[in-house]
Amino acid sequence: MSFCIAIDGPAAAGKGTISKAVAQHFGFAHLDTGLLYRATGAKTFEGLSPIEAAQTLTAQDLERDDLRSADAGQAASRVAAEPDVREALVDFQQAFARREGGAVLDGRDIGTVICPDAEVKLYVIASDEVRARRRHKELVEKGEEITFEEVLDDLRERDERDAARATAPLKPADDAVVIDTTSMSIEQAVAKVIELIEAKLG
């Protein structure tokens, strides 16, 4: 059985945490598609062009320990704006989505571009301040020296660039269910999503 759950939304809204928990609950495979773009962006630090980086991406590249850095996040947003890069990564994502046993993909264009026929489409949001607080805490815990204001500016800059790009802009699919996690605990958000999916699974 193939059953695809597409979870989109801006950075630090909670889509990654929700996706992992949901995949674990249902025994589905999980793909954080943002990692594909972060790994592609990180490879450009080594002098590769964005398209070369995307075409030569390997599973090992997704294991790099610098993929969650603020620099990798900005690089990801830059390379993701290039249509050739997105095209190079589409096949990988679509094949993953239709694997046997079910799949959860989280990203920015899963419900709109990668899996427009996904059985469940969700769009996870939260206020800018809450998202910045979450991301700032995560980065500081990893030892990065960055202020809350810098993180907030960084998130807003990425949101603006991702929403304005010509190819696969950041936006909810017309039939996506919007989940606002601003005032939700992660447990509440996960429980709500599981309930929605169980209703679809019947």
12 assigned ligand-binding residue: yes
Count of other CB atoms within 10 angstroms of residue 155: 23
The answer to whether the annotation marks 53 as part of a ligand binding site is no
In the sheet with 4-8, reading across from the earlier edge strand, the strands are: 29-32, 103-107, 4-8, 120-125, 177-180
Contact 127, 182 (CB under 8 A): yes
- The identity of residue 16, as a single letter, is G
* Residue 11 marked as a ligand binder: yes
Q: What is the CA radius of gyration of the chain?
A: 16
Q: Is 112 annotated as a binding residue?
A: no
Provide φ and ψ at 28, rounded to 5°. Answer: -95, 155
The response to whether 80 counts as a known ligand-binding position is: no
Rounded Cα distance between 80 and 169, Å, is 10
Q: Is 10 annotated as a binding residue?
A: yes
8 Cβ contact list (under 8 Å, min separation 6) = 15, 106, 107, 108, 109, 110, 111, 112, 121, 122, 123, 124, 170, 172, 173, 176
The DSSP letter of residue 59 is G
16 known ligand binder: yes
Residue ranges of the annotated binding site for ATP are: 9-17
Binding residues are 9-17
